[in-house]
Amino acid sequence: MWLLDDEYRKKVALAEMLKGGVIMDVTNVEQAKIAEDAGAVSVMALERIPADIRRDGGVARMSDPLLIREIQESVTIPVMAKCRIGHFAEAQILESLEVDFIDESEVLTPADEKYHIDKWPFKVPFVCGCRNLGEALRRIAEGAALIRTKGEPGTGNIIEAVRHMRSVQTEIKRIRSLGNEELVDLGKTLGAPVELIRNLKEIGKLPVPNFAAGGVATPADASLMMQLGAETVFVGSGIYKSDNPAARAQAIVHATTHYMDPDEVAKASEGIGVAMKGLEIESIPEAERMQERGW
Amino acid sequence: MQIGILALQGDFELHQTTLNRLEVKSTLIRKPSQLVDCDGLIIPGGESTTLVKLLRNIELIAPIRHFATHRPIFGTCAGSILLATEIANHSMETLGLIEATIERNAYGRQIDSFIYTLQLNLNDKKYEFEGVFIRAPEIKSVGQDVKVLGVVSGQSEGENIVLAENDQILIATFHPELTQDDLVHRYFIDKVRTKSKN
């Protein structure tokens, strides 16, 4: 099936290389270097971290190409950048800049209330967020080569990422136990192509890597998400809204590598200063929750 | 026989899947002590900059160098960078276990990643192999004790080396673990088997 298409395999292959690592938001060259020194596997170049986007309000858009270029020139690890949901012209610009991954992200203000980008014509791979399996499979059907939880970005509160990861994992477990006759009907309920559901039943996992994002603030958060089935962790506000970003960045990398080893996660958590204050999800009006963007 | 797979970061699970398919026992390596029971080691693809830092943090560099004095190591993509003695376009510490000069991201960024049919020469037999190159490095030159096992027609000048070995070390700039073909892994297992007999 189309999952075996060579163009698609190359895209998923890069996601495979990022496994077991930490992808860090960076807003300038200095932060990009801190991230690379801390052991990040990739950086996400953007103008403002989610916590600041939330604070500032207004329309959040793709970053200035100049900023992206500067960051590309300052590090050797892959550079990702975000475009608005449905904004394929922004995605075309990011492809022309030769970013290594495009994040069609709910952190920015959506540009299309009905359609996500058709990601197949692009040579650069896409990562997309999800809250549940149906959303994950719809994004894969559109050509996403990597899936991440949405969580609730910029909050430093892990509860939403946990909810989304658990939801995906529970659905996968359920599908594995279903009979083949149940799959078409499930496709209707999930709003996802039945070929992808069949494939999922057969291989027991998503056909692309599944990462965690949205609310990671501590080494323990990273370990938690990895133990729940995430294969890599995205961190942004959690680093820069803490009082020692460099130390915290390094600690989160260490905890991600050794997520199954509590002694190492404990060591990583020691003396790295105060974590970001964080937000209760209930304190954010529903209309302002980023995870509600996209469908 | 048991093969260790360095599991600090990267596509280590895909190597394990390949070894499982070959019914070879494997174990994931995250600490120096775990190397003890291994007859060979695989360093997977991933981000070489990241992998070097993680190796240093967990103090695995000296133990792997020691391991290489009596056991074979196979590095793919980032793994090949880590094993080479010299990096052409970047100053970084490596394990330096095979005399080779490697250029990182030699073909460009992700948009330049490619899949290409390679001609490999293993044990004096020719094989076709599907080479998956992801932000791949390029082996520019190798030392006298290093045997070239595969080349790809370069986009720049002439042929580029993609698979090479010395007595202990095997390096590939592509990702055999991303294909269903076990040829290169089998070649490495044979190398391990020969060494553990000695």
The residue behind tokens 């969580």 is A151
Residue B154 in this model has a pLDDT that exceeds 60: no
Name the residue type at position A92.
Answer: Q
- The Cα–Cα gap between A216 and A236 comes to 8
B76, β-bridge pairs: B172
Joined tokens for residue A273: 């200063």
Q: What is the reported pLDDT for B156?
A: 55
The whole-angstrom distance between A285's CA and the closest CA on chain B is 38
CB spacing of B111 vs A95 below 8 angstroms: yes
Name the residue type at position B65.
Answer: R
Joined tokens for residue A294: 């996209």
Which parts of chain A register pLDDT below 70? 1
- The Cα–Cα gap between A22 and A231 comes to 10
Measured between beta carbons, the chain B residues lying within 8 angstroms of A261 are: 30
pLDDT in tens, A163-222: 999 999 999 999 999 999 999 999 999 999 999 999 999 999 999 999 999 999 999 999
All domains of chain B in start order, with CATH: 2-197 (3.40.50.880)
Measured between beta carbons, the chain B residues lying within 8 angstroms of A76 are: 49, 90, 104-105
Q: What is the reported pLDDT for A1?
A: 65
Torsion sign (Cα): A207, A209, A213, A218: positive
DSSP A275: P
Instruction: Reduce the secondary structure of B59-108 to three states and give it as a string.
Output: CCHHHHHHHCCCCCEEEECHHHHHHEEEECCCCCCCCCCEEEEEECCCCC
Cβ–Cβ < 8 Å for A51, A87? no
β A42-45/A22-26 pair status? parallel
CB spacing of A21 vs B135 below 8 angstroms: no
Q: What is the reported pLDDT for B158?
A: 66
- The Cα–Cα gap between A253 and A275 comes to 15
Interface of B with A (CB under 8 A): 7-14, 30, 45-47, 49-50, 53-54, 57-58, 77-78, 90, 104-105, 108-111, 113-115, 132, 134-135, 175, 178
Per-residue pLDDT band at B155 (split at 50, 70, 90):
low
Radius of gyration of chain B, Cα coordinates, nearest whole angstrom:
15
Radius of gyration of chain A, Cα coordinates, nearest whole angstrom:
18
Three-class SS of residue A257?
A: helix
Nearest CB to A13: which of B7, B12, B178? B178
CA distances from A130 to A100, A142, B142 (A): 21, 13, 46
Joined tokens for residue B149: 């096992």
Q: How far is CA A52 from the centre of its chain?
A: 18
Residue B38 is among the residues annotated as catalytic for this protein: no
B120, β-bridge pairs: B127, B150
Measured between beta carbons, the chain B residues lying within 8 angstroms of A95 are: 111
Half-sphere exposure of B173 toward its Cβ, with a 13 Å CA cutoff? 32
CB spacing of A18 vs B49 below 8 angstroms: no
Q: What is the reported pLDDT for A4?
A: 82
Cβ–Cβ < 8 Å for A3, A40? no
Long-range contacts of B157-163 (CB under 8 A, 24+ apart): B160/B106, B161/B100, B162/B118, B162/B131, B163/B118, B163/B120
ipTM metric = 0.95
The whole-angstrom distance between A194's CA and the closest CA on chain B is 25
β B114-122/B125-133 pair status? antiparallel
Nearby residues of B82 by Cβ (< 8 Å), 6 or more positions away: B43, B48, B51, B52, B55, B75, B94, B95
pLDDT in tens, A238-255: 898 898 999 999 999 999
CA distances from A268 to A250, A259, A264, A271, B48 (A): 8, 10, 6, 8, 22
Q: What is the reported pLDDT for B197?
A: 72
- The Cα–Cα gap between B125 and B133 comes to 23
Start-end of H helices in chain A: 6-17, 29-38, 50-56, 65-74, 88-96, 133-141, 159-176, 183-190, 194-203, 219-227, 237-240, 245-257, 262-269
pLDDT in tens, B91-135: 889 999 999 999 999 999 999 999 999 999 999 999 999 999 999
Cβ–Cβ < 8 Å for A193, A187? yes
DSSP A193: -
Region B176-187 average pLDDT: 97
The residue behind tokens 């801190």 is A34
